[in-house]
Amino acid sequence: MSYAILVLFIVSLFILYTRRKSRQYPLPPGPRKLPIVENLFDIPTGGFIWLDYAKLCQKYNSDIIHLGALGNSIIILNSAKTVSDILEKRPLVSAGRPPATMLGELMGWGGAVIFRSFDDFCKAQRRMISQGIPPTDPKRFHTKQISATHDLLRVLPQSDNVMRSLQIWAAEFIMDVTYGLDKEEAQKYLPTALEALDSMSEAGTPGAFYVDQIPILKYVPEWFPGAGFKRKAREWSDLRIRMTETPFNATKERMAKGIAKPSFTLTALEQLNETQDSTNQIEVIKNASVAVYGGGSDTIVATLGSLIICMLMNPEIQSKAHEQLQKVLGPGDLPTFSDEPSLPYITAIALEAVRLHPVTPLGFPHTLSQDEIYDGYFLPKDSIIMPNVWSILHNEEDYPEPYQFKPERYLGTDGRIDPKVKDPTTAAFGFGRRVCLGKHIALASLWISVASILTCYTIEPELDEDGKPMKPRAEWYPGPTLFNHPLPFKCRFVPRSKDIETSLGVGAM
């Protein structure tokens, strides 16, 4: 007994010592904290908040700053070095996700890998996704990617809503990969998925719902004045259920009838381990499937949308791309993935779109699972870590003239991709143990779509009533949101040759 008391005493002393030691270190710099609310009114809540965070870092002359709000600790990392030191070199302690009362609890997205803390359920989903869409087997999806892209090529010249056509293209591909569903079915499920993704984006925006800061509000009944968020949560939860269950059940039904096409979900269902709890396994499969579907649609669409706008704004870059495509491909040929090494300028265009207009300019928030000391600062346990990806990708030292769309920056004097130039995809797809699981698929889809669109078309501005080119709309959703999506825009896809028309199998484009 006395031995146990001695051990307890030593442990208490150790805890006291480490706490005091932690307190010897200051928090990272940041705005002065008010009593109780701390920095509640300093937290940016409008649009393009990554720019506001970058300005705050400049103001306090630090690549790491701290904000507190109602007991929450928020740390902004504004450089590749701080992000690497904290999220990459301490992967296990920085792999958590902040609790999200609105999204996770009230809307029910808490099981989805992206919102999940780094627990066994999350790791099981990550494992399943890496096995189902392995980066080591990039060719597995090439046929599906090419088929969806050729459908897109046929649609674009007639499209009066480019972003919508891109959404259909991405859904067609990702629904096939995930659930083995064909184009018509993918389109059937698309409206629900888009609504559900919008609701996630709205609910996930920091400061959008007070219930995230004051979780006890979740107990307020729906009829209570001011409890509109509860009604919204119920409607949005219904969208989640429909987005998750409907395509999953369709695959299961086909599997039972023996007519299911190969897919991520089918493989996972076939590998169910009969000796283990099947309910938990089914939940893992369902959540992993919807993560592949949800993670892989809007992100690629936003990047390709931004890229098309950049082409519209930079006709001379299009001409250079056309030149290279003409040299490499025969008349009427459409590009395939085997052309990639010979088309570095197309690769450079894709990289530059990922850099200039990152879809997740603040990455995705991580959390710290223990107190940490970094560079003389105390970083409290449970702090929310926000990597300012936008700042990293607009850093003048790595990318001179960072606000210009300049694919040439990635090319060496031999015209090939220069390995000395920092690859923007290392920041754009997340960090440490939570790095994006679909990066290889996303980059391949982006590459084949850009190569194919530029092979077939010149992207030109809309014409006004007098036939004069109009100034293209190049604007991104002003938010508040954590995502960087282009607003709908109009342009013309002007065919480059008759041979291509024949290759696509269309009469008149």
Give the annotated binding-site residues: 436
Q: Does 343 bind ligand HEM (CB under 6 A)?
A: no
Measured in degrees and rounded to the nearest 5, phi and psi for residue 348 equal: -65, -35
Contact positions with ligand HEM (CB under 6 A) in 302-321 = 303
Q: Is 303 helix (H, G, I), strand (E, B) or coil?
A: helix
Least distance from ligand HEM to the Cβ atom of residue 73, Å: 18
x/- site string to ligand HEM, residues 410 to 449, per CB under 6 A?
A: ------------------xxxx--xxxxx--xx-------
Stretch that binds ligand HEM, among 60-68, 210-218, 358-366, 460-468 (CB under 6 A): 358-366
CA-based max dimension of the chain = 95
Q: Which of 295, 407, 424, 461 binds ligand HEM (CB under 6 A)?
A: 295
Binding residues for heme: 436
Q: How many CB atoms lie within 10 A of CB 299?
A: 22
Cβ neighbors of 344 (< 8 A, separation 6 or more) are 324, 410, 411, 415, 416, 417
Least distance from ligand HEM to the Cβ atom of residue 456, Å: 22
Q: Does 286 bind ligand HEM (CB under 6 A)?
A: no
Q: Which of 57, 114, 386, 448 binds ligand HEM (CB under 6 A)?
A: 114
Q: Is 264 helix (H, G, I), strand (E, B) or coil?
A: helix
Distance in angstroms (rounded) separating the CA atoms of residues 501 and 78: 48
Of 152 and 500, nearer to ligand HEM (C-beta) is 152
Count CA atoms closer than 13 A to 92's CA, side-chain side. Answer: 0
Of 217 and 292, nearer to ligand HEM (C-beta) is 292
Q: Does 113 bind ligand HEM (CB under 6 A)?
A: yes
Q: How many CB atoms lie within 10 A of CB 465?
A: 6
Q: Are 38 and 70 in contact (CB under 8 A)?
A: yes
Q: Is the dihedral of CA 82, 85, 88, 94 positive or negative?
A: negative
Of 428 and 500, nearer to ligand HEM (C-beta) is 428
Contact positions with ligand HEM (CB under 6 A) in 372-401 = none
Q: Which of 68, 296, 335, 344 binds ligand HEM (CB under 6 A)?
A: 296
Q: Are 125 and 145 in contact (CB under 8 A)?
A: no
Distance in angstroms (rounded) separating the CA atoms of residues 435 and 498: 43
Q: Does 129 bind ligand HEM (CB under 6 A)?
A: yes
Number of amino acids touching ligand HEM (CB under 6 A)? 28
366-367 vs 372-374, strand pairing mode: unpaired
By CB under 6 A, name the binding residues for ligand HEM: 113-114, 126, 129, 133, 291-292, 295-296, 299-300, 303, 359-360, 363-364, 366, 428-431, 434-438, 441-442
